[in-house]
Structure 1
Amino acid sequence: MKQDRGRWTLAGAILAGIGASACCFGPLILLGLGISGAWIGNLTALEPYRPIFIAVTLIFLGLAFRRLYRAPQPCDEARVCANPKVLRRQRIIFWGVGAVLISAMAFPYLAPYLLGY
């Protein structure tokens, strides 16, 4: 049961990160795929909610970090969580997802410097 809670915190962080970067990163991806049109300008409608999505993303990442590093996890020998390889794999996935989410959230702030506009 506690294992499922760890998955939900990471899934929540991923969804909130997608929401935080949807206003700016989404149109760039669509343009890169060759999809264009005047309606792409409407995707910036989520911009006012960006700080909320960023806060939710950071909260979920913090909960996932706490679950993986701070909170002790009592576990029986017969369960999967007793295997140190599973915890190591979860931590690798956490840092990979965290790096992608942080870069996606920082993209609108760094885009003028990276893309020159």
Structure 2
Amino acid sequence: MKTQENSLKSSGAPTEKIWLGTSLVAALGASLCCITPLVALVAGTTSSLAVSFSWLEPLRPYLIGLTTLVLAFAWYQKLMPSKQVDCDCKTNLKSNFMQSKTFLFLVSLFAAAMLAFPSYAQIFYPQLQGQQTTADKSNVQIVEIKIKGMTCAGCEGHVNSEVNKLAGILKVETSYADGNTLVKFDKTKTDVKQIEKAVSATGYKVTQVNLK
């Protein structure tokens, strides 16, 4: 009878692990296109790593929905009344942490943090300021660079941090929604080619350059 009880208690474990694993993979996939630029910046890498998962962006709503449904189902299973075994055996089995509500709560918290990552990703990027704050008005220029491949606010931070490393940068405003960056700079300290090169170093594709 004890063996039967053990079997009943553990029979749902593999299925539960599969569901939780699915939710974590979906949550990570939903924000992977915003996580990889940060990884690229921290690792000091360039190009493909920053944009290699941008193709996941159109799938983000579906991955969010899948994560939500899987976790909701997991919580339903965890909170629903468990079936009682009709026997006289004692239940002194220690609860498995990975099958506990605490573990499910931690998984849910991590998944929520991953799903919301695009909204706060920019805080992880260095808040660099241009190395120059003023310049002679006759030397000030503004360039708009159209960029393909940005998918979230984290991408904006990635571009801003690279451009701000150049000398002569006065202001940088990047928008993933508009697919561009506006750079105000001192033309005696840097030029459009250097700025374009800095943007390209992030891995995003420069599609157009317009001097204002």
Shorter-chain TM-score bucket reads: 0.7 to 0.9
Deviation at 1:20, TM superposition (A): 0.9
- Structure number with greater CO (CA < 8 Å, separation at least 6) is 1
* Cross-structure match for 1:86: 96
| Partner SS for 2:119 | helix
Aligned to 2:34: 24
Give the aligned residue type for 2:58. Answer: P
Name the CA shift for 1:47/1:71 in 2 (closer, same or farther; >3 Å).
Answer: farther
Q: Residues 88 and 13 (structure 1 numbering): CA distance in 2 closer, same or farther, change over 3 Å?
A: closer
Give me the CA root mean square deviation.
2.8
Tell me which residue corresponds to 1:69.
79
Read off the aligned partner of 2:18 and give its amino acid letter: W
User: Quick one: structure 1 residues 34 and 73, their matched pair in 2 at CA, closer, same or farther if it must change by over 3 Å?
Assistant: farther
Residues 27 and 64 of structure 2 are in contact (CA less than 8 Å); yes or no, is this contact kept in structure 1? yes
Shift of 1:78: 7.5
TM-score by length of 1: 0.76
| 1:110 has 2:123 as partner | no
Distance 1:72 1:6 in 2: 15
List 4+ stretches of structure 1 deviating above 6 A: none
Q: Equivalent residue for 1:98? A: 108
Give aligned pairs, total: 114
Higher CA-based Rg: 2
Which letter does structure 2 place at the counterpart of 1:32?
V
Give the TM-score, by structure 2 length. Answer: 0.46
**Map of 1:31-50 to 2, 5 A cutoff?**
31-38=41-48, 40-50=50-60
State how far apart, in whole Å, the 2-side matches of 1:109 and 1:34 are: 23
Contact preservation (8 Å) 1:68, 1:87? no
The DSSP-based 3-state class of the residue aligned with 1:104 is helix
Q: CA deviation at 1:71?
A: 4.7
Shift in Å at residue 90 of structure 1?
2.2
**Kept after mapping to 2: 8 A contact 1:20/1:54:** yes
Unaligned runs of 5+ in 1: none
Which sections of structure 2, spanning at least 5 residues, go unmatched? 1-10, 128-156, 158-212
Report the secondary structure of 2:100's partner residue: helix
Q: Tell me if the contact between 1:24 and 1:108 (Cα under 8 Å) persists in the aligned partners.
A: yes
When you count strand as a share of all residues, which structure comes out higher?
2
